[in-house]
Amino acid sequence: MHNNSAPHSDAQNAANIGSQSTEHPVTVNTTGNTTGTPHTGFTNTTGIPSTDSTNATGDPSKDTTSDESRRAQAVAEIAAAKNAIRTARMAAAEADAVSKAVINLNDKRLQLSELSTDAALELLRVNTMPYQKLMTYYRCAIMEVETKFKVLNEELSLSYERNPIESIKGRIKTPESIFRKMRQKDIPVSIETVEEHINDIAGIRIICSFIDDIYTIAESFLMQDDVTLIAIKDYIKNPKPGGYRSLHLIISIPIFLQNEKRNMKVEVQLRTIAMDFWASLEHKIRYKKHIPENEAALLARELLECADQSAALDEKMQVIKNRLKHLGETT
């Protein structure tokens, strides 16, 4: 026997099917029934609650609450999805901004005052290829200069009966040191300006036995036709106020690459063993230390005294060497 209630819509039937417990499956009967078995197509008169939004008891509160809960959950899921999309778009925009900043780094000529040191370093690291190529060129220049001094040392050992060069040390300035110097000079951040304005990115240190060896080797080196002297600073004859002594040469030298010849700048420092001993220890004592003013003044005086003693030792050793050389010539 069929009841005459109007059937629900297909959409409501589908919703009701989804609401049934998986523990008690039911059979959908599109013609209705009088068995008391719950179904999803029509209402029934058995007194057994149906899963429809209305039933014979006239109490829709249970199903209404369930519908509201599902709607609230759906709204929450939609809101979460929108937040996820918004976050993804913001991340993409930030990534795009960083990418554009890197691509336009050389064109924009960003001033150091606009960037923190960490931000500037990060931009430089991201823009690795031009920077790495430039550092490779500087390493090649150091190799060229090292070879020249090794050849001079080998040749002069024949006439000196000793090697006037004790050691040769090369180094490339760190990114931190480069940016610190650029900040001091207020130089725009670009690969071109680094190469143009910073003269000591590539450095080579020549440690000699005696003071006169320094000037002999420097003169022979500068006489070579592919070495161009840019600047010279003689801190041996004119020491720095703190006591530092060394002969500095800024030179340009060609390097021969696969498809080009390129002139690179190198700073050459020539020192005696005593000068290098003092300078190395002075750097280790002072480097990145926050010293109180009263202690700093006392430390400066003591380091200057050590520098004077080191200079006196160099001069005394030079006198002894000259006397022995003179004795050798007269015997």
Closest CA to 16 of 5, 3, 29, 4: 29
Point out the residues that are catalytic. 267
Query: 47-75 in b/e burial notation, b at 16+ Cβ within 10 A?
Result: eeebbbeebeeeeeeebeeeeeeeeeeee
Closest CA to 276 of 238, 308, 304, 244: 244
Which tokens sit at 278? 């003092």
Alpha carbon distances (Å) from 271 to 15, 54, 110, 314, 322: 90, 100, 38, 11, 19
Q: Contact at 8 Å (CB) between 5 and 43? A: yes
Helices (H), 165-292: 175-185, 191-197, 211-222, 273-286
The span from the CA of 145 to the CA of 119, in Å, is 34
